[in-house]
Structure 1
């Protein structure tokens, strides 16, 4: 062709086929600790479009490959036979169909952490238990709350989404972590490519006999699909329900006996999952389950099961993985691979997958299908057997490189290309994949400046141009002027290589990504942010470090356009099954950092508000630390989060119970969190103007000691924080305007001043006077107003209640 922009076909068929013909998945990289226990769980982390054949860094040129002819409508191939004859409109439309793949990668990442689409009217029985976890102190878990899940099935158009999709999908994760009924079609999808473990019969016999079985295995062992298959194999028309118990959350078989003919899945696969007490002891008597004609399958790792297994008898089965070749063939055939046997028997692939768990083998299947879907250049003459063999050999090598994150290829390329122009153009092209090349060219120059590089004097016409740079990184230019990198997953591999190889430049790089996302027009900016979000979470999973995550969240928090992305990025990471525990611990550390930027602290409050839906106890602790901030914008965000938790039906009672426990704790951080949370809740008012905490039904008597103690702590503040001033004003307004409220308010404040083992009543009395003056300032030269008299009546009441006052009880001041 005359144009230097070499166009290769990129139509809808370029979507990477997965193990299931109707879904799309690309190869996650080896070493990922994810439970890919069914085709539905496969995650497209790279989610890149199919690239033309090109010389990747360190890769030899490939001979042309002639793809087998396809029947009309076949979409399993990656290319179009008539791409060279396609009209510009055809090519544009096919390219437009691919801009959403970065978001699809993010959606699939969210799906992996539990975002199955719940049933619109999913039954949430037994009553929904909020999962807990705290690294600080054992405390009673949240009690069950009743009601139905309000979740609905959500399908998002990622091609036109403007940054909201990640938040919508986060809610799907939350729904997936609650007790939900599993739809039959979802179960069918999980079992679409099921290869049974070698000891499936042993597990099935235990479940049928005892109505309980514990399936043990590492991530990727196939515990969930095996559990579903065992339940379905009972042929008893069971309703399937999955539920979680997070750290420190109690569990008893009695929780499951209120319904008939249910197949329960207790999911303890996520990092840090466990239950309080001895789960094994509860399995000694399964009569209640048998009476209810129900069954329980527990999914756990050996490390989780061992400390809670005492008394459980012989109910556990460690799954024995099926032959890896059988798993690979099953996935390839289900994905309509053109030559599954040829791939499976290749000695290099067979050796690489030997002994691997089904989840790891699934990734190899994804990599193979992505390679089969790559665009190819049709030749005028039929390829010879030698050419076909050589091409297949090169495809196998590319699959192996992809499974190794292209690490060897990239290392060789960087050694051979020390030039700043080349390196920064490669990194910019990877970060801004499928962005117009002229934008990438300018962005690569800004990247060099951001990284502090000073380019050497450039030769003619100010250095290498777009075509030269694209060639030097082994990429191609399409007819519409976008850069096509050498292979699927290559863009993520480039960024991952930089993050690992240039740790000291991570902050500058993330600053640059935030700048680019903010500068790019239309959906390009949000596409870049979504793509980076996927990579950052993947990097956190691989590195087991939250440094890059914090850097990206910090930079994005400082951008108005990306603030929501920052919140949702951290929220997704905080509930991820692999890194959730690590990230939540990191958030606690950041919340306590006095030097943390205000924008990041505001983001953390928003994260806690979202995460509180499934980790309310941990969210409360972190919000309590954030509430100590002297920055008004931070405390406002904290108040919004507290109010959101309070407004959730079924969670209010649980919040109060935990805060009461923390108020009595010997751990200072818990008492502090309880105190800060109290002030926000004390500022809430009912429709009639009364403080909400005084109208809590049956909770009031239980709350009273906590309320008194919290006001006691508040009165010792000097100076009083704004939250204390606001809460005191609410209580005084309620006492002055709502009938039958004054005595309760005055009595609580009097007890807060005087009822304490330590003798700080004088300090608290002064604090009360200061707060009262905030509510109604003293003006000695003016006549007393009704509000001033009411203020003084409070002071007289509290003074009269002093046990050291001889007149105690003789006269109670009346307004």
Structure 2
């Protein structure tokens, strides 16, 4: 499970909740622009406790503005906790859809998120010293922790304090596409704080061994701009790349204390009447928290909050007058997955398969209408070979079934509520262990459940409800697959959702978010590599490509290019379209162009075993026209000078290599070379200064030592040139005909070998371009 003390995908929190947006636009919000910061401060303090001055405490407690701000903070903390655990069972449809979208956004860390981090962060030993060090312009801190140990959250807390104390803009940096971090990736902004996560090493990619030594120059650049940098890496990776690093860049931070983490989160999210001290003083709770990872601590926090909200657990007795003992016991049992209680429930005399399946379905389809749970239970029974009839009154009804699974029925929403904390996840875990032969059938049903468009009852299963259900099913599949390191549930839902546009988008977003998660990410990266080669399952290749075109590709460009290269070899049209879109998306990032084009050139090289991948990837760029020109003056983007510092310009040789591969396209790929030749020749016709450049590239594309291959390439290019401007033909443009003849004559001239090979003057013509 992911770590609550950090390791969350970068997100934009400024527009998380429509209700929150309305609140910020209200008169009260306009009156105090810093409302969210004040809200966080009232919940932060040294240990997350209230810090309202005692003289004004009574008035503050009754102040509607203070109450409102605390409510906003509690909601933000609750969202953050669910994001950390990749478990969205408590969110409604609007919030869930917004959260999943914003998990994938790449931006400056906004103030509201930083305020929330400060409200729940429990500083470990050594934190204050590290925070003061980071305030110094030019400071570099390297946090050495394994993914899932709270390293990203610690970094975000450091950046939040930096922003509060210095006003610095803070946010993430992408490492780039090569093994060495390029200095030009450091923005030119003054007074900023950056977070750089070193990509994990793979067989085909690893961070350069001299990264530590490069920090000296990075420090000098940061100092000149009054900025700072935090680097995230693992102890193992740092041992390999950290040699010759500046002294004291690794602060002596201790591991987060479980009790302190729980206290901070509870005081920030729990209602004011919850006695946090009483909970944490109980030895049973203390034992659960001691030595636990942040994610385990946060699960316990969630169980405590659930137990406090439940009225069914508050059994009063002489020995437990307020039911507190029962609540604590429920939290302890939740941490042991309710195994004893579930065994007793399943083995009760007279227990039916319909009841067992109803419990299983209700546990997975949290917050779905009870009618849909009822109908889906019947569907699952049929798949298990035990059909039931829901017509008439033969089978037990909804009320009886809800009672049998020890749940409550919300009369307002017609949804099923479990009083016991963690009960639904425990039910799913119990089934998986208890029924090995039924696993495949269950996964098949689970993947198909969100595709159902009707309950066959009066209630309508709306598209919004289907999407929320898909996100919850998908999130469960991601957590389960990562925990067991088996891709089965993910592959099932990808296959089942491929024909539904909304469900497909949900699957892509879920896998993308998981790929960015440091706890889940490594396993998902492995899956994406495996899926990129899965030629027999094009839906897996297509999803991989779409994930690589998003934030995963932006942060892990080298890894994304490797996976794109395999997927681009697919003959499936949908995969090819996705590859083209992905290549163009990556090209839109100037810092990624050099590595992208180097990979494509390598794939296009003669005798390459990735020729098809290279050809299709180059076609996506060769047919990409610049923006801002009239249609008749469009220019291929590959020919425009990149004005960015450290910008990239493809060489003549590489362009010719790629064009040679494109001209070898099969009939199935006929459209791409036609479109590319038309675009490039239109540019040569409309921009005379580009003619020498374009002619030189195309002549180089057909120049080869293999005479048979050269003849084939020339014939193909001549055919495409004639198709660009046939003659005779109606409305012939004499200039276009002349231009075609000029290039064809040069091709013949080169073939004759009677004079020296034509070499354009590169530097002059690039300047003209």
Aligned to 2:119: 192
Matches within 5 A, 1:591-610: 591-597=532-538, 601-610=541-550
In 2, Cα distance between the equivalents of 1:741 and 1:292?
Answer: 39
**What corresponds to 1:706 in structure 2?**
654
Cα RMSD after superposing both structures: 4.7
Q: Specify the SS of the correspondent of 2:212.
A: helix
Q: How does 1:220-231 map to 2 (within 5 A)?
A: 221-223=149-151
| Per-residue CA distance 1:651-707 (angstroms, 9 max, x = gap) | 146325531354147895776544322111111234334441464126896332221
Partner of 1:471: 403
| SS of equivalent to 2:319 | helix
**CA offset at residue 440 of structure 1?**
2.0
Note if contact 1:215-1:297 (Cα within 8 Å) is conserved in structure 2.
yes
Conservation of the 8 A alpha-carbon contact between 2:259 and 2:286: yes
531, 550, 566: which one aligns with 1:590:
531
1:730 CA displacement? 3.1
Q: Residues 343 and 507 from structure 1, CA distance in 2 versus in 1: closer, same or farther, beyond 3 angstroms?
A: closer
Please show how residues 85-484 of structure 1 align to structure 2 within 5 Å: 110=83, 159=92, 161=94, 165=98, 168-172=101-105, 174-175=106-107, 180=108, 183=111, 186-200=113-127, 203=130, 211-219=139-147, 221-223=149-151, 232=161, 237=166, 239=168, 241-246=170-175, 248=178, 250-251=180-181, 262-268=192-198, 275-283=207-215, 295-312=228-245, 313-321=247-255, 323-334=257-268, 335=270, 336=272, 338-376=274-312, 383-388=316-321, 391-416=323-348, 419-449=352-382, 451-455=383-387, 461-480=393-412, 481-484=414-417
Give the Cα–Cα distance (whole angstroms) in 2 for the partners of residues 692 and 459 of structure 1. 65
Q: Which residue of 2 aligns with 1:75?
A: none
Between 1:438-447 and 1:771-780, the stretch displaced more is 771-780
Alignment equivalent of 1:692, drawn from 619, 636, 639? 636
Which of residues 659, 663, 667 in structure 1 aligns to 2:597? 659
SS at match of 1:702: coil
Give 1:303 shift. Answer: 2.5
Equivalent residue in structure 1 for 2:577, among 620, 636, 639:
636
SS in 2 for 1:476: strand
| Cα separation, partners in 2 of 1:375 and 1:620, compared to 1, 3 Å | same
User: 1:707/1:194 Cα in 2 relative to 1: closer, same or farther (>3 Å)?
Assistant: closer
TM (norm. structure 2) is: 0.72
CA 1:208 to 1:521, structure 2 compared with 1: closer, same or farther past 3 Å? closer
Residue 528 of structure 1 and its aligned partner are, at CA, apart by: 1.0
Structure 1 residue 288: Cα displacement = 6.5
Q: Structure 1's 34 and 673: CA in aligned 2 closer, same or farther, altered over 3 A?
A: farther
Q: Which has the higher contact order (CA 8 A, sep 6+)?
A: 1
How big is the shift at 1:169? 1.5
The verdict on how the C-alpha distance between 1:526 and 1:270 changes in structure 2, with shifts beyond 3 A counting, is: farther
TM-score of the aligned structures, taking structure 1 as reference length: 0.68
Contact 2:195 2:230 in 1 (8 A): yes
Deviations 1:278-312 (A, max 9, x none): 33324568667667665544444323322222123
- 1:764 is matched with 713
> Distance between the aligned counterparts of 2:357 and 2:502, measured in 1?
25
Contact 2:3 2:149 in 1 (8 A): no
Note closer, same or farther for the CA distance 1:591–1:181 as it changes in structure 2 (3 Å cut): closer
Q: Is the contact between residue 431 and residue 495 of structure 1 (CA under 8 Å) also seen in structure 2?
A: yes
Where 1:368 maps in the other structure, the secondary structure is helix
CA distance in 2: counterparts of 1:682 and 1:394, whole angstroms: 68
Partner of 2:44: none
2:656 and 2:698 in contact (8 A); partners too:
yes
* 1:251–1:726 Cα change, 3 Å: closer
**Counterpart of 1:571?**
512
* Residues in 2 aligned to 1:360 and 1:668: alpha-carbon distance in whole angstroms: 49
Determine if the alignment matches structure 1 residue 513 to structure 2 residue 443. no
In 2 relative to 1, CA 463–236 (structure 1 residues): closer, same or farther, beyond 3 Å?
closer
Residues of 1 paired with 2:390 and 2:185: CA distance?
Answer: 73
Q: d(CA) in 1 for partners of 2:673 and 2:180?
A: 35
Residue 689 to residue 447, structure 1, CA distance change in 2 (3 Å): farther
Pick closer, same or farther for the CA change 1:296–1:362 going to 2, 3 Å.
Answer: same
Change (3 A) 1:282 1:374: same
Aligned match of 2:664 in 694, 711, 716? 716
1:72 equivalent in structure 2: none
Q: 2 CA distance for matches of 1:795 and 1:457?
A: 76
In structure 2, the residue corresponding to 1:304 is in which secondary structure? helix
Is the Cα–Cα contact under 8 Å of residues 675 and 710 in structure 1 kept in the other structure?
A: yes
Mapped pair 1:547 → 2:488: yes
Q: 3-state SS of the aligned residue for 2:478?
A: helix
Richer in helix (by share): 2
Q: 1:752 Cα shift?
A: 0.9
Q: Once the two structures are superposed, what CA deviation does each residue of 1:135-157 show, in whole Å capped at 9, x if it has no partner?
A: xxxxxxxxxxxxxxxxxxxxxx9
2:27 — aligned with what? none
User: Of 513, 531, 534, which aligns to 2:475?
Assistant: 534
- C-alpha spacing 1:299/1:619, structure 2 compared with 1 (3 Å): closer
Determine if contact 1:193/1:331 at 8 Å carries over to the other structure.
yes
In the alignment, is the contact (CA less than 8 A) between 1:35 and 1:359 conserved in 2? Answer: yes
Cα distance change of structure 1 residues 203 and 795 upon mapping to structure 2, 3 Å threshold: closer
Distance 1:39 1:762, change over 3 A: closer
CA separation of 1:712 and 1:498: change in aligned 2, threshold 3 A: farther
- Residues 339 and 734 of structure 1, relative CA distance in 2, 3 Å threshold: closer
Gaps of 5+ in 2: 12-73, 456-460, 759-769
Q: What is the deviation of 1:372?
A: 0.7
Structure-2 change in CA distance of 1:468 and 1:615 (3 Å): same
Displacement, 1:607?
3.0
**1: CA distance, partners of 2:360 / 2:710:** 64
Contact 2:8–2:517 (CA under 8 A) maintained in structure 1: no
Aligned-residue offset at 1:535: 1.8
Aligned-pair CA distance for 1:444: 1.1
1:413/1:368 CA distance change after superposition, 3 Å: same
Report the CA distance between 1:170 and its aligned residue.
3.9
